[in-house]
């Protein structure tokens, strides 16, 4: 294989900060980041001051990753409470801001450039995703891996949907975050690329024409990292609970290991039609795991749950070799029982159309576990 037998995996999680009384987005990000860093958390500012990001170290063991995610969320939540806010793992804010105008942009030259360049696109709707980095040896290999992962991006999105309720209403989308995020230049799946040279020419052209600021603002849902030797999968909403983070990380690493083995064997990656992939994305955003999906290889409708089962079968040899198969099987059983974040949001919202109740549950679930009473509260 073109990399170590068990590549390391790390996660980036973006969270909302909501005021304690009304569960509305609140601009305390700078204080939360400063105090979280003092507490030993790898926390950074996000685009707006109503958000915060936390990063795990690269790890081989999923048990250690789970422990890190749980610990980080707990510490970050405690820090946020001390600043007068709840920490929310949700793709968009369930409750509308007090001021429905533009959200405050975080300090920093890069964020200011984004706001100046893209205007209301940067300031109107904040979104929180979950990004997964998996170790690869070099950029050329990363591009080949991206080609293999590309057809599976809608399935990964469907599994992680966690943004059905936004600004007090049911959006009728399981991932409203993905729909909103899709307005950014380059957001969505990457093209199928044949070489590093083609990648560099494309990125250079987008920078030259002002489509993106730099390589770091290439917002494809899977991309070679611009600053470390990893493939970054960034298609999903931030998962509601730590176990879902680990499940996503396991499946993404399984895809990367499968891709590395295919590359070593000289097998070409499946090239799916753009319209088939677009249809698969649309259904994933709308239905998540509960309805009809689209098989990107054929463009035909199939159940979303069957696509997820196909993904697990596809990566099963890799999951077996990394020791992650049982973890994935157990986690998928629980996900089937409890539903993903979007399903749980809708169950709570259906009781009395109370978006604050959805946000309150998200705040509790952010630091809870699947076997906790909080999980059953959304049943």
pLDDT at 138 over 70: yes
pLDDT at 144 over 90: yes
Q: Which pLDDT does position 378 carry in this prediction?
A: 60
Q: Which pLDDT does position 1 carry in this prediction?
A: 44
Interval 196-230: pLDDT, tens? 999 999 999 999 999 999 999 999 999 999 888 99
Distance of alpha carbon 292 from alpha carbon 286, whole angstroms? 9
Q: Which pLDDT does position 27 carry in this prediction?
A: 97
Distance of alpha carbon 224 from alpha carbon 290, whole angstroms? 31
CATH topology of domain 9-365: Creatine Kinase; Chain A, domain 2 (3.30.590)
pLDDT at 231 over 70: yes
Interval 301-335: pLDDT, tens? 999 999 999 999 999 999 999 999 999 999 999 99
pLDDT at 343 over 90: yes
Q: Which pLDDT does position 376 carry in this prediction?
A: 56
Q: Which pLDDT does position 2 carry in this prediction?
A: 46
pLDDT at 268 over 80: yes
Interval 52-91: pLDDT, tens? 999 999 999 999 999 999 999 999 999 999 999 999 999 9
pTM (two decimals):
0.96
- Of 36-50, 92-106, 278-292, the one with minimum mean pLDDT is 92-106
Q: How confident is the model at residue 4 (pLDDT cuts 50, 70, 90)?
A: low
Nearest to 2 by CA among 122, 109, 145: 145
Nearest to 106 by CA among 18, 184, 34, 23: 34
Distance of alpha carbon 243 from alpha carbon 204, whole angstroms? 38
Handedness of CA 328, 329, 335, 340 (dihedral sign): positive
Give the chain's length. Answer: 379
Distance of alpha carbon 11 from alpha carbon 155, whole angstroms? 19
Q: Which pLDDT does position 124 carry in this prediction?
A: 83
- Of 281-285, 345-349, 371-375, the one with minimum mean pLDDT is 371-375
pLDDT at 345 over 50: yes
- State whether residue 101 is helix, strand or coil: coil
Q: Which pLDDT does position 374 carry in this prediction?
A: 60
Question: Which sequence spans correspond to the domains of the chain?
Answer: 9-365
Q: What is the mean pLDDT of the chain?
A: 95
Q: Which pLDDT does position 3 carry in this prediction?
A: 46
């Amino acid at each position: 294989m073109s990399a170590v037998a068990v590549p390391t995996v790390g996660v980036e999680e973006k969270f909302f900060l909501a005021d304690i009384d009304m569960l509305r987005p609140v601009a305390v990000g700078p204080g939360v980041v400063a105090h979280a860093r003092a507490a030993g958390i790898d926390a950074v500012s996000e685009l707006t001051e109503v958000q915060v990001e936390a990063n795990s170290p690269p790890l081989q063991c999923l048990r250690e990753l789970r422990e890190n995610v749980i610990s980080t969320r707990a510490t970050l939540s405690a820090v946020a409470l001390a600043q007068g806010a709840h920490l929310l793992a949700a793709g968009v804010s369930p409750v509308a801001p007090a001021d429905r105008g533009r959200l405050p942009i975080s300090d920093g030259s890069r964020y200011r450039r984004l706001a100046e360049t893209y205007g209301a696109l940067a300031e109107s709707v904040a979104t929180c995703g979950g990004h997964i980095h998996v170790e690869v040896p070099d950029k050329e290999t990363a591009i080949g891996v991206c080609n293999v992962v590309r057809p599976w991006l809608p399935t990964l999105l469907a599994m992680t949907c966690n943004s059905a309720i936004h600004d007090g209403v049911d959006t009728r989308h399981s991932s409203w975050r993905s729909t909103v995020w899709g307005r950014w230049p380059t957001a969505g799946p990457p093209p199928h690329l044949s070489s590093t040279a083609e990648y560099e020419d494309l990125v250079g052209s987008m920078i030259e024409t002002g489509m993106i600021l730099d390589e770091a603002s290439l917002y494809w849902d899977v991309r070679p990292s611009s600053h470390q030797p990893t493939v970054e999968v960034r298609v999903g909403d931030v998962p509601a609970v730590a176990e879902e983070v680990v499940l996503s990380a396991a499946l993404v690493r399984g895809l990367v290991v499968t891709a590395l083995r295919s590359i070593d064997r000289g097998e070409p990656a499946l090239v799916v039609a753009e319209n088939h992939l677009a249809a698969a994305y649309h259904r994933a955003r709308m239905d998540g795991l509960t309805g009809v999906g689209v098989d990107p290889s054929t463009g035909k409708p199939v159940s979303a749950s069957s696509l997820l089962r196909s993904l697990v079968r596809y990566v099963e040899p890799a999951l077996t070799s990394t020791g992650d198969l049982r973890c994935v099987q157990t986690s998928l059983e629980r996900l089937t029982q409890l539903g993903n974040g979007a399903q749980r949001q809708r169950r709570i919202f259906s009781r009395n159309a109370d978006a604050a109740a959805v946000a309150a549950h998200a705040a509790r679930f952010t630091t809870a576990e699947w076997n906790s009473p909080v999980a059953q509260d959304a049943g």
